[in-house]
Every structure is written in C-alpha cells, then in structure tokens.
C-alpha cells in the first residue's frame, strides 16, 4: 500500500522490483484515483506492506475509504502487517512523525493495532531520539523506537524479536525513565535496503 507516499510511481515500481523476484504474487492497492470498493481488496491478502511517507495523510485517506477497518480485519484474520517509516508508525496508537511539516511532532490517532507509541529513524535523523524521549518523559505513551535497518516483530500485541538488515542496527523500549536497547538478530542474505 503506497498511500503514505501519495501512491508514488517510484514507490510502486520499487515495491514490484523488490518482490517480483520472491516466491509471492505482489499486488498494489493505490487509493489516489481509487478503485471501486478498495477495502474489499484486503480480504485475501496474506501480507500487507505499507510504504514510507506521510503517516497522517495515509490514516486520513484510509479512514475515508474504510481501509482502517479492513486492515484490522485482515490482521484479525491472520495477515502479516508491516512497513517502513510511516508504514511502521501506522500500526501503533501513537507515533513521532514529520507529517505536519519539518518539525517532528506527536501523532496520537494511529490505527491502534499495536499498543503504545513508535518512533522510526531513531539513529538516522538527529532529532528523532531527543524528541521521542522528551515526549515519552512528558506523558506520551511509552513504546518502541527502531534504528534505520532495524524492525520490531510482533506476534499479536507481544514483541517477539528485533531483526536488522545491517550490523549495529537495533531497537529500543522507551519509557518515561528509561531507554532499554533491544538486541537485534542480524538477517543475512538480504540487501541493505531491506
């Protein structure tokens, strides 16, 4: 789902390039110029991957088309949900985002499939870590942060593991009074863009 990127042709082409060589049948649900009944297209998907981009815009468009409910139903039916940046933010109750302009800001109306908050790009953008830790210290829900190249893997609402596509990437549990590093299992045999 390339909604956060505004259904960017580049994002769609990169997705098909990455997944067409895998043992799967990739499809794309573009919502700008929306197809008829877009929410119904989620019912038969095993994996739903959301691109990076603007978290707030994606959530608004999804709610307009009923995609938010379709994503919850897909998750409840056993589909694997994932994504990068905005595509990771969206699953949580809250997140840190640059959706509203160049300054990082809290967003408190995510899909809520996962409890708490999330912050991507923890080591990739210099203001992410101090902004997120400050927000959590001031009462923003505790949650998880991930370095670029790291991912948090949940089963249901329980953190199962942290995986990384590069050496040194990790995730963190961030609470009002502590930031706890979570060791990552390095995935081998994948490109640095994973």
Q: How far is CA 142 from the centre of its chain?
A: 17
Say which of 85, 99, 117, 165 is annotated catalytic: 85
Domain that holds residue 17: 1-80
**10 Å Cβ neighbour count for 183?**
10
Question: Do residues 112 and 179 both lie within one domain?
Answer: yes
Last residue within a domain, chosen from 80, 113, 132: 80
| pLDDT at residue 149 greater than cutoff 90 | yes
Question: Do residues 129 and 190 both lie within one domain?
Answer: yes
Question: Do residues 51 and 99 both lie within one domain?
Answer: no
Average pLDDT over residues 172-182: 98
Question: Do residues 167 and 143 both lie within one domain?
Answer: yes
Residues of the chain with pLDDT > 70, as a percent, come to 96
Average pLDDT over residues 130-142: 98
Query: 121 catalytic, yes or no?
Result: yes
| pLDDT at residue 160 greater than cutoff 90 | yes
pLDDT value at residue 34:
63
Query: 42 catalytic, yes or no?
Result: no
pTM of the model: 0.92
Last residue within a domain, chosen from 80, 114, 137: 80
The DSSP code for 152 is E
> Do 94 and 143 meet the contact criterion of CB atoms below 8 Å apart?
yes
| Strand-pair category, 171-175 with 158-164 | unpaired
Say which of 51, 117, 121, 165 is annotated catalytic: 121
Phi first, then psi, for residue 100 (nearest 5°) are -105, 5
How many domains does one find in the chain? 2
């Amino acid at each position: 789902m390339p909604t956060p990127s505004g259904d960017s042709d580049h994002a769609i082409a990169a997705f098909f390039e990455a997944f067409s060589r895998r043992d799967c049948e990739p499809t794309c649900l573009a919502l700008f110029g929306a197809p008829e009944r877009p929410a119904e297209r989620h019912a038969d998907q095993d994996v739903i991957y959301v691109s990076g981009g603007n978290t707030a815009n994606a959530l608004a468009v999804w709610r307009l088309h009923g995609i938010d409910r379709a994503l919850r139903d897909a998750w409840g039916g056993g589909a694997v949900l994932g994504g990068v940046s905005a595509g990771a933010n969206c699953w949580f109750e809250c997140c840190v985002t640059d959706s509203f302009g160049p300054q990082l800001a809290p967003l408190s109306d995510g899909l809520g499939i996962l409890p708490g908050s999330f912050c991507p790009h923890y080591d990739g953008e210099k203001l992410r870590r101090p902004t997120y830790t400050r927000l959590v210290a001031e009462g923003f829900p505790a949650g998880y942060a991930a370095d670029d190249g790291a991912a948090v893997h949940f089963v249901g609402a329980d953190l199962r593991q942290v995986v990384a596509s590069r050496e040194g990437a990790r995730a963190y549990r961030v609470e009002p009074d502590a930031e706890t590093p979570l060791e990552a299992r390095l995935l081998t045999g994948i490109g640095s863009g994973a």
